[in-house]
Structures are given as structure tokens and as C-alpha cells.
Structure 1
């Protein structure tokens, strides 16, 4: 029972504890529900608060933006107010013009207006946008006035032309722009060029155009009279006179003026413009003067071609003086005009090259065109005129040597070879920069003389055959060639080559002329046959003519008489012919000496052996040895 009671009591206690726990759980569940409900209320209240805060933030941000816009607008309005005040001041300056306002103040006003314009373009205010057009018109007006002032300043310091001879003859430098104008023009150009670049326009700067339009005609008009004189002075009274260079050469004075004037102009350009603009300004400004030079050279080239034989030397002079000007300008200006000068000179340079072959060809045609030659063997003018052409080239040895190098040795032998490349440039296949131009020129002179003498020889043989007159004719012309070469400045170039050529032709002329001596000498050759015991003495010792004659038969004596008579007739005819020929003094002496050396020894031998044929009566023996010698000496 006790155990059962104990168990019952324990069960009752445990049940009571369970009830207590259950009661606690119910209470906790109720509290949990209350907490959950409270949490829901809190969350709902939080969401409501977040919405209210977010709405307040948005309104605050809008308010801040509004305040910032108000401040910006106020600042912009203040800036516009300042710009309006500044614009009004700058506009007054622009209206005054750069001359009255002063260049520096005027340009500063334009810079401020440009700055205002840049700021206005960035502004979103409608009032500012409305002012942009006004600013643009004002700035354009200001720029135009600056350009006009640049033009005015430049023209005030630029005469229409000047007298170039005043500076060339007195060796004075040509005038440049004055210092005070240089400073203003430089400042104006700096602003005008910068404004032009910033505008993005690809055309030339207005300052460049203005400078070329003002200074270009000044250069052209200054050189115009010398350009005309260069053409007029080459028109000689006697068209056959060879052109001679001199201190008053038209083309020489023209070239000197071009060099001095363009160098002075380049100095002015450098003072006004920046380095990057020098090339375009100088080329634009000098374009008219260079075009006038090219036109003048073309006109001179036409004249040279029409009178090539006597005026080819003008071509050589033009090549030299214009090349010198081009080189000087290239050295001082950086080759800005090199191509222009090369193009202007090209026609004359080509003619100068062709002239070497043309002179040869013209000379041969003149000789081949001869219908008659002097019957007395006198020289003809073609010879001296032709050699005079060679003599004239020495005065232009430098350009001629350069042309010779471009042609190459022997390149003158035909017109086709002399033409070189189709565009007139040297033929590089024959151009040897290591060649000696003077040596090639010497070869040309020898070839020229050879061609002349060959043509004369062929023409003389065609007209006279092989008569002695051909020898006289050739010897006369050879002597003239030799004399003219030796007495000119050509000789130092030719003294190693010409003597051999001259000597060869002299020997040919002697052979032709000495045929006459052979015709005479044939009568002095005896072919008398005697017996061994009666053979005439010969060789060493005195000759006993009487003994020889006694040993001859009557037939042989008659033959000797006939030989003396024939010799006398032939000799007299030879002397008469010799005297009748028109010979240069050197030629007459040469032939007389050769005749004497050929005939006199034979005659003296013949005379010594057979003069007793007429026993001193002179019936057959017309000349004794002294008389014979006297006759020859009279022929010298």
C-alpha cells in the first residue's frame, strides 16, 4: 500500500509539473503572438518612416539643384554683364581701327572678343546665343580691318618699281622693307596667320596673299626693262657678227639684278613672316618675276636657234649666269627657287647642248654646198669663221665644259646623240661626273678642225682633182687653222693634240703640191749607157763635164740637150705657177723650200755632169747653179 501510495503521490506530483509546464507554454505562445503582432506593427511603421525620409531627401536634392542653378545663373548673368561692358569697350576700339587705336591695343581687343565668343558658344543661355552672331560679325570686321591695315602698311613701303641699274652698277644692296614697318607687319602677320589657322580654312593666309599681291608686281616691274633689254641687245646691226660677252651684257645685267633683288626680298620675307611660312611666301611673291624670266629666256632661245652659228655663245652665257644666280639663291634661301630656275633655263640649256653638233653639221653643209673654189688656191672665209666659233667658246669655257661632260666624249658627233634624254636632261648613260670637261672640249675642237679640213679636202678634190692647186688650197687653210688656234686662248688646251693633226694635214698638202716637182725632176734623171772603159765618173771627187760629154755618143748628147730644154720649160712653168698661186706667207716659204730641196740637188748633179753640152753658150743650159739657187730664193 505504501508503495502504491508512493507511486500515486509521485504521479500526482509529475502531473502537477506537467500542468505547470503546459501553463508556461501557453503563456509563451500568447507572448509570442503578441511579439509577432508588435513586430508587424513596427515593420509597418518603419516602412512608413522610410517613405517619408526618402521623399524628404528627394525634395532636399531638388532644392539643392535649384539653389545651384540660381547661383550659376547669377554668375553667368554677372559674367555676361562684364562681357557686355567689355564688348562695348572693345567694340569702340574695333570701330576706331588699328591705325588710330594702335596695333597692340587693337589686337588685344580682338583677342578678348574671341575669348568672349568662345565662352558664349559654350553658354546655354539664350541671351548669350543671341550675342554670338554679333560677336562673330564684330570679329570678322576687326580681322578685315587688320588685313587692310597690313595691306596699307606694305603698300606704303613698296614703290611700283625701282631702277635696278642704280644698284647693280654701283654694287649697292637692293632696298628691303624699313625697320619700323617690319615690326608692325610682323605683329599683324602673327595675329592674322594664327586667326587663319584657327579658322580651319585650308587656303593660304590672307597675309601671304596680300604680301604676294603687293610685292610680286614690284619685283616684276623692277626687272621688266632689263628683261626687254636682254632681248633687244642681242639683235645686232650685222647679223653675222659673233656674239661677244661683255661687262654691259644684257643678260648679265639682268641676271645680276635678279640675284640682288630676290635676295633682298627674301630678307624682307624673313623679317615679316615666321620660318614655316618663308617658303610659300617667297615662292608666291617671286612667281611673276620667275615667269617673266622664263618668257625672256624662251624668246632669247628662239633668237639663238635662228642665228645658231654666231649666237650659240649667248646660250653658253645664259647657262652660266642663270646657273650662277640659281646657285647663289639656293645657297642663301635653301633652294626655294631651284626647280623654277631649272625649268626656266631648260630650253636654252638644251639649245646649248645641241649647238655643238649643229655647228659641226652646219659647217659641213656650208662646205658641201660650195659650187666653186678659188682657182689660185686662196683660202676661203668659211675656215676663219669656223675656227672663230671655237675661239668664242673659250670665253664660256666653264658652261661649255659642263655641257661637254653631260654629252660625253664624242656625244656631239650627231644631233641625235646630242639631244640626250627626251626631257632635255643629260643622258645618264654617258654622264661621267669624273670626266674632265676641258679635255672633252679639246677633243671636240680637234674633231671640229679635222671635220672642217676633211670636208675642204673632199670638195677641193671633187672640183680640181689632184692638181697642185688642191695642195695650195689645203695648205693655206691648214695654215689659217694652225695660226688661229695658236694665237687664241684655245692653244693651252690643244697644244698636246693639235700639232700632230696639223702636221698630218700639211704632209698631205705637200704630197699634192710636190707632184709638180716630180714632173720637173723627171727630166733630170739620166739613163745613159756607156762602155765600161768610157763610163762617166760619178760619186766622189770633182765631175769633169767635158770628159763626160766627150764620152757620150751624138745621140746621147742630143738626148741631154733635149732634157735641158724640157727641164727649162717645165721649171719655168713650175715657177710661174708657184708665183701665180695665192699663198699664205708661211705656205709660200714652205713650198719654196720643199721645191728647192727636191729639185735643186737633182739639177746641180745633172748640171755638174752635162753643162758642157752647149759649151757655156746657154743655148740649152739656161740656169747655172747660182742662177738656179737665186730663182728658188726668189720664191720664198
Structure 2
């Protein structure tokens, strides 16, 4: 066979070729066939028994031999080429299996993430020996493949399962802690498990990226990391969808959870992007439903306030404030605890953007950056504007409902003033105060309206204290202790009767006002405000009228019920 091949080769190469050179070339072609059995023995043993370095060197030699044989393009080498190809394929398969086996052996099913978080310990890596072996295997595979690195898929499958299993309980806890014993309880910052979930995810993912960078070539870092994180990210997306459904079903009490999730997950995205340069798009997609709910909540909460007022069937007949006012202010107070994410949402919407918000114009694929969570002047100002919009919307709805359900201007004034006072008090006694200082001109307008409504009765009563008795200049008596006697003496019988009637009518109207004032339920500030208004409007007029005409009664008390000291005491009793 060799003789026939040599003769053919000599004929082919021509008579001018050095015979020794030809023989040497032929001997070189024969070497792979001669060493095939030795390499096959190494391959059969596998990486573990043969030793990884020895095994990899064997595959490399086989690859080199195969390359040489194929480049000769001689039919005589076809069987050897086939044998070498079989050995190389078998060697590669065993290498992949060895990679898979070693990785599975050294990867736990899961770990307890809270152990590392609570003790502030870094999440575990693979041992240096394991990483060295896996890296050697990858160096060979990635250096001898023009297609995708097969080890990336193996790595992602093994480590992805480990990541998912480690995080699954925290994912469950995030959903479970959203459920409350009392449906009306307002969500409080940090009471949901999402923060711990994100913290564990960051620690695990950063450790995983570190491992990947020590095993794979740079071009495979991103694909390997994204593939390994795909399963736990899918679980995260499912968890956030469940949380979002819960938030939407309890928007008035749990909208704050949406703000917290937005901030936490945005922080996770930014941190991982800084440390790995990966996963920003995947995390933005997972957060998207909650982020959109956060934006929509601003308009929804305004509408919810108006809806609550519109469904009221009756109002307290004594003008007492109603719960929707304190509930609305409590919501604004709680929002301050989430000012960072809310500020970011406000900035993205623009000042007043909540007024024209619809589901179709809230969507955005961009995840907020760290810079967007800086609580700058713009974010604070826009939130303050949202607060004043909420308050004005609430007061407008209350006035509209009160005009339908309450009878009389006085009780309407009391009702509005009480609610204004509740609003002011809840601003003054909370973190809303520095945000809304100097921005409450709208409340002053509502207070003036309430005062005007309540004082309307006073205007009616004051009419009885205006006299229409005229005297000529020559007849006008001098002022002094006997002024009243002189004035009364100068009156005609008809005028005297008119003055008597005025005193009597005033007495009746004033007593009704006092009695009604005392039946109203007023906040302390409101009672003092209205008492002061009544006193300032009526006391000077009454005192002047009494000074002029008290002699009409001659101290008998038939027409005049109050002297100046007595009516002053009544005014004081109103406070």
C-alpha cells in the first residue's frame, strides 16, 4: 500500500524532486496514524483519569494532526482522517461532560441568602481550583470553535438553576408580605420583602459575574451572565406582576409599595449596570408594569378622592369634618416618605402632567437612572404642586357635595372651615410643612369663603342695629351720660316703637345665632375664628345702638335683653 502510494507520489511530484524530501513528507503524514492509538487511550480515560492538562494536550495534538491530514488532501489518508474526527468529537463531548459534571458537583442546589445579607458577608464563589479547571476547559473549547461556545449553555443551565432556587423563597416572601391582615392598612416603607429580595439578587449576581469573568473569555462574559440570570429574572418579572396586581387592587393604600418597588429595582438595575454593564434592559422590562402603575396612581388617587366625595349620601348636620379629608391628607403625608421615587416620577411626567394622564401615555421602556432619584428643587416643587392640586380638588368636591346636602349657609361655612383646619393641621404636624410652606394661598381663599358663609347671618342681624331716625342739627342733643335719654326724648311715638321692635328682633335673632353656634361641631381653631368674627361684626354695632337707645326701656328689660357687659359675656361664651 505504502509502496504503491510512494510510487504514485513520485510520479505525481516529478523526477526533479528530491526523493528524500518526499519520503520525509510521507513519514510525517504517517505519524497521526501511528500516534492515534496512544491518543485514543487518553481520550478513553477521560479528563478525570488522564488528568485535565494531559487530556487537553491530547485533544490539541489530535486537532493538529487532523488539520495536517486534511491539508494533504490525499485519498490514502481518508480513513485516518475519519478516525481522528471521531476521536476529536468524542474528546470534545467528554470535555463538555466533564465541565458539566465538575460544575454540578461544585454548585450547591441553593444557599440561604439571608445568612449572607444579615451577616454582611459576600456571596460564595466557586473554589479557585474549580475555576482553574473550568477555565482551562473553556480556553480549549472557545479557542477551537468558530460557532457559539457550547460551555456557555451548560454553565447557564447549571448556575441558573442554582440562582433561581436560592432566590425563590425571597420571591415568594415578596408577594406574601404584600398581603395584609387589615385591607385598609396603609403600606409602610420597608414592610415588604422586595428590598431583601433585591439585595440578595444583587449579591448573587455580582458573585456570578465574578465567576464568569474568571472562567470565560471576555466575548462570552455578557452572554454567559445574561443566560445564567435568565431564569431568576423571569421569576422576578412574575413576582413584580403579582405585586402590581395587588397594588392595583388596593391602590389607595398600597400605591406606596409601587413607589418603593420602583426605587429598589431601579437601584438594583443601576448598581448591576455599574458593576457588570448588563441586565439593564431585562430589569427595565420586569419593572415596567409597576412603574406604569406608579405613574397612573397620581391621577387615579385624585380621581379616587373625587369619587369618594361624590358617593357620600349624607353629611353631619353639625358641620363636623368627614374622614375622607384626613384620609387624603394621610396619603399625602405618607407620600413624603417615598419622595425620592415620587420625585423621579413627577419629573418624568412634568408639572401638572397627572392632569392629562392616560394609560397610553405613561409607558416608557427606560428605567430611571440614579440621577433621576436626586430630590432636586424641580421634583419637590412638582410634588408640592401635586399636593395643592389634591387639596383644591378635595375642597371643590366637598363644597359641591355640601351645597347639595347641608341646609343653611352657616353650617356650610362650619363644614368647610373644619375641613380646612384638619388639612392645615395635618400639614403643620408632618413632613409636608417644609414642602408646602408659602404654597397654601388656595386654603386662604377657601377660608375666606367659609367665613363669608358663616357671617352671612351676622349681616342679617346687624340690619336691626342700624337706625333711620334723623334729627335736625338744632335738635341734636349733646353727647354724654344723658345722650340716650335726650335722643329717646326727641323721638316720635312711631320712632320709639320702631326702636323697641329693633331691640326685640335683635334679641330673638341674636339668641338664635348663639344657640346655633353652640350646636355646631367646630374644631377649636374654627370656633375661635367664627366667635371672633361674630364679635367684631356685632359688638361695636350693638354697643353704639345701646348707647343711643337704651333709655327706651328705662331699665325694665322689657325690650332690651342685654346691656353692654351682658352681651360681652355672651360673645366670650362663643369662643
User: What is the deviation of 1:522?
Assistant: 1.9
Could you tell me which residue of structure 2 aligns to residue 357 of structure 1? 299
Residues 342 and 253 (structure 1), Cα distance of their counterparts in 2 relative to 1, 3 Å cut: same
Q: Residue 331 of structure 2: which of 371, 376, 389 is its match?
A: 389
Query: How far apart are the structure 2 equivalents of 1:252 and 1:543?
Result: 84
User: What is the deviation of 1:551?
Assistant: 2.3
Query: How far apart are the structure 1 equivalents of 2:47 and 2:12?
Result: 51
Residues 402 and 542 (structure 1), Cα distance of their counterparts in 2 relative to 1, 3 Å cut: farther
Could you tell me which residue of structure 2 aligns to residue 578 of structure 1? 517
Query: How far apart are the structure 2 equivalents of 1:413 and 1:160?
Result: 51
User: What is the deviation of 1:288?
Assistant: 1.0
Alignment of 1:196 with 2:145, yes or no, is yes
- The answer on whether the counterparts of 1:123 and 1:129 sit within 8 Å (CA) in structure 2 is no
- Written as runs of structure 1 = structure 2, the 5 A alignment for 1:585-624 is 585-624=524-563
- The answer on whether the counterparts of 1:478 and 1:506 sit within 8 Å (CA) in structure 2 is yes
Could you tell me which residue of structure 2 aligns to residue 482 of structure 1? 424
Q: Residue 220 of structure 1: which of 161, 164, 168 is its match?
A: 164
Query: What is the aligned length?
Result: 560
Please identify, of 469-478 and 267-276, the stretch whose mean Cα deviation from structure 2 is larger.
267-276
User: What is the deviation of 1:535?
Assistant: 2.8
Residues 419 and 406 (structure 1), Cα distance of their counterparts in 2 relative to 1, 3 Å cut: farther
Could you tell me which residue of structure 2 aligns to residue 551 of structure 1? 490
User: What is the deviation of 1:235?
Assistant: 1.4
Q: Residue 516 of structure 1: which of 457, 462, 467 is its match?
A: 457
Could you tell me which residue of structure 2 aligns to residue 367 of structure 1? 309
User: What is the deviation of 1:516?
Assistant: 1.8
Query: How far apart are the structure 2 equivalents of 1:543 and 1:444?
Result: 63
Could you tell me which residue of structure 1 aligns to residue 78 of structure 2? 129
Deviations 1:81-106 (A, max 9, x none): 64345322222221221112211111
Q: CA RMSD in A?
A: 2.4
Alignment of 1:324 with 2:263, yes or no, is no
Deviations 1:567-608 (A, max 9, x none): 111111111111101111111111111111111111111122
Deviations 1:188-215 (A, max 9, x none): 1111222222xxxx4x311101100000
Query: How far apart are the structure 2 equivalents of 1:330 and 1:456?
Result: 48
- Matched position secondary structure for 2:313: coil
Alignment of 1:337 with 2:286, yes or no, is no
User: What is the deviation of 1:70?
Assistant: 6.2
Provide structure 1 residue ranges, at least 5 long, that are not aligned to the other structure: 1-60
Please identify, of 269-278 and 465-474, the stretch whose mean Cα deviation from structure 2 is larger.
465-474
Alignment of 1:525 with 2:466, yes or no, is yes
- Matched position secondary structure for 1:113: helix
Could you tell me which residue of structure 1 aligns to residue 47 of structure 2? 98
- The answer on whether the counterparts of 2:103 and 2:155 sit within 8 Å (CA) in structure 1 is yes
Could you tell me which residue of structure 1 aligns to residue 499 of structure 2? 560
Query: How far apart are the structure 2 equivalents of 1:226 and 1:63?
Result: 74
Provide structure 2 residue ranges, at least 5 long, that are not aligned to the other structure: 1-9
Could you tell me which residue of structure 1 aligns to residue 179 of structure 2? 235
User: What is the deviation of 1:77?
Assistant: 5.7
Runs of 4+ displaced beyond 6 Å: 61-64
Query: How far apart are the structure 1 equivalents of 2:48 and 2:569?
Result: 103
Could you tell me which residue of structure 2 aligns to residue 504 of structure 1? 445
Deviations 1:392-417 (A, max 9, x none): 2111112111111121111111333x
- The answer on whether the counterparts of 1:405 and 1:437 sit within 8 Å (CA) in structure 2 is yes
Q: Residue 435 of structure 2: which of 485, 493, 500 is its match?
A: 493
User: What is the deviation of 1:542?
Assistant: 5.3
- Matched position secondary structure for 2:354: coil
Alignment of 1:275 with 2:218, yes or no, is yes
Deviations 1:498-525 (A, max 9, x none): 1x22211101000000012122222211
Query: How far apart are the structure 2 equivalents of 1:112 and 1:66?
Result: 34
User: What is the deviation of 1:261?
Assistant: 1.4
Query: How far apart are the structure 2 equivalents of 1:425 and 1:302?
Result: 21
Residues 75 and 496 (structure 1), Cα distance of their counterparts in 2 relative to 1, 3 Å cut: same
Alignment of 1:569 with 2:511, yes or no, is no
- The answer on whether the counterparts of 2:284 and 2:366 sit within 8 Å (CA) in structure 1 is no
User: What is the deviation of 1:317?
Assistant: 0.9
Residues 232 and 536 (structure 1), Cα distance of their counterparts in 2 relative to 1, 3 Å cut: farther
Q: Residue 205 of structure 1: which of 128, 149, 160 is its match?
A: 149
- Matched position secondary structure for 1:348: helix
Query: How far apart are the structure 2 equivalents of 1:295 and 1:494?
Result: 39
Q: Residue 83 of structure 1: which of 29, 32, 42 is its match?
A: 32
Q: Normalising by the residue count of structure 1, what TM-score does the alignment of the two structures yield? A: 0.83
Alignment of 1:185 with 2:134, yes or no, is yes
Could you tell me which residue of structure 1 aligns to residue 3 of structure 2? none
Query: How far apart are the structure 2 equivalents of 1:523 and 1:64?
Result: 138
Q: Residue 124 of structure 2: which of 175, 194, 217 is its match?
A: 175
Which has the higher Rg, Structure 1 or Structure 2? 1
